[in-house]
Amino acid sequence: MHGFLEFCLSHETGVQDLEVGLEISLEDGLVDRAVSQLIAGVMGDLARVEHKQKLRRIQSGIDAAKEAGRWTGRPPAGFDVKDGYLQVNADEFLTIRRALERIEQGYTYADAADGTRVAESTLRVLYDDRRDLYFYAEAEDERLQAAAEELEALEKPDIPDDTSLPRQEIRTIVRDEIYRYQQ
């Protein structure tokens, strides 16, 4: 704030803070300007201290929520947050898992992402960092592990490619099985 005030006065511009009532006019004497600038500097310092305290309180709340097992922020792909806790979103989870399986089979990330709503860059990160979560329901984060434990490690379905069941029906069957485990 002090720098801002100096800039204004050096460019012959007065300053008036309507909320606090601070006013520095070009007609003010040198002493009045100095006192006003001192007050503005103190106000700026107090605002910085208050901002830092607010950030600490926010971080403290986030840490407490994490300690309690709650999820803060955006949930990982394939999961939703309900009442602060992660839950598996079966459709999205299975879509991601199938795309990761395609990568395992040698498809490129772009080819694996085709036909899904999952970005190629997301698949790359998930394949590198969370592959065990989607294949074996294993995670390092305890909150993510708790949500993943609702699933048993899903084995690759033994469905021949020439099956008479349509893919959508297969997905529905698997999704229903996941929901059954969640109940």
Q: Are 2 and 34 in contact (CB under 8 A)?
A: no
In the chain, where the domains are located: 2-67, 79-182
Task: Return the pLDDT at 159.
Answer: 43
pTM, rounded to two decimals: 0.54
Q: What is the mean pLDDT of each run of 10 residues along the chain (183 residues)?
A: 68 64 62 69 81 93 87 89 88 89 91 90 92 87 83 50 55 64 51
